[in-house]
Amino acid sequence: MKFVIIGGDAAGMSAASRAKRNKPEMDVIVFEQTQDVSYSACGMPYNIADEKRPIDDLIVRQANVFREKQHIDLRTGHRVESIDIKEKTVHGTNQDGKSFSCHYDSLLIATGASPIIPELPGFDLPGVFPLKSLENGRLIKKYIQPQTQKAVIIGMGYIALEMAEAFHERGIEVSMIKPRPQLLPWLSPSLAEIVNQELINHQINLYPGYPIKGIEASNHQLCVKSENLSLSCDIVLTAIGVQPNSQIADKAGIVLGASNAIKVNESLKTSESDIFAAGDCADVYHLVSKKRAWLPLALYANRGGWTAADNVIGKQTKLSGIVGTSVFKVFQLEVARTGLNSSEAKKAGFDPVEVVIQSRSRAHAHPGACPIHISMIGDKQTGLLLGVQMIGKEGVAHRINAPAIALHTKMTVDHFANSDLAYAPPFSPVWDPMLTAANQLIKKMT
């Protein structure tokens, strides 16, 4: 049996490793268009912040390890360009420009996502970079020199905020610009204002609500142009989001789903029974909204690769779905979320009630306590917990896992308020901030 995988990052290599481990006799072939496989993309901003750390520190496993120790037929520098469903064959071109074809019995599409690059003048200029692949990270790190003094970041999402800190750590003045007026539109406004102030406190120049007209180059400098605003700099980072690499599936006639990601079922099967999709190119089932969604998350990509591989080898496995749990760091702040915000809850048909509270990361008499700000949302009709957002300088990143589990188990706010959460003065008040928020929300819902 021949299992062919398109894409050699998180989902693709997780699937290849699992299939080969559980069925060593299987012929597993992976086509990866770059030379990099199995690396920590999420670690790139922190690596770039440290000029002494080699970017290749982020490689989790070298390509040769997969080939020599796991006996996976990993072909780097091979770009698959089309899928012939009737003939069960993939076609593409290798790094030398030579065409290749390969038959499959089962196929996994794990092509990931690509950065959105506006079709505007200047986005192809030297010194203008996205940050999605390890090669992007290499180029950015190589481009930064002692004379690099100013950076402009287009966008204000996760990667943009993490890279604002990275540039700042390198002594580079940072300006951030985006067309929409809100810093983080998915975040509760009072919590978003805390992030906004944290950026201002670290001398980050913010320009929300400025549509981009293009980028110009002159006198060895770049200039990001907007109406009534020009930002000169030495380097530009485009970080306005990503989109699923689903074109190859669409071209083959495979059904697409949410946000044009490849539609899959609980077994990661596409509309073609012998073709699977996993990772950032595939859609997901949101357990709270009960709708298909597109949320490119690292853990789900790895888990999706495992699930696809299990089904390919005959072990029937299903992936229940996600609740959209994520966390990121911006300077001293930890910012986390799980579930739905108020507008998402309304779109999903709920009657959302939100409460925003401030508590402490430690007991009141314990030194070092920091404020924790929490937005918690419940459904007035059913009492169900719908979502939580949190910001603080400590105690946020792991605390978000409690409401994430509550959402997976479909707990009501009342049940969550009665959860037995751990207490010790260095880690929490007697009433954990999560419990305080839940109790306040119960009052508002009744």
| Residues with a known catalytic role | 42
d(CA 271, CA 277): 10
Amino acid at 54: P
Q: Report the alpha-carbon distance of residue 221 to residue 205 in Å, rounded.
A: 18
Q: How far apart are CA 131 and CA 139, in angstroms?
A: 9
Separation between Cα atoms, residue 417 and residue 425, nearest integer Å = 20
What span, in angstroms and rounded, lies between the C-alpha atoms of 136 and 142? Answer: 10
What is the rounded CA–CA span in Å between residue 173 and residue 443? 46
Q: Which two tokens stand for residue 121?
A: 């003048």
225: left (phi over 0), alpha (psi -120 to 50) or beta: beta
Burial category of 79 from C-beta neighbours within 10 Å (exposed 0-12, middle 13-18, buried 19 and up): middle
Which of 66, 6, 65, 62 lies closest to 30 in space, CA to CA? 6
State CA 431 to chain mean position distance: 32
Six-digit token pair at 148? 């690099």
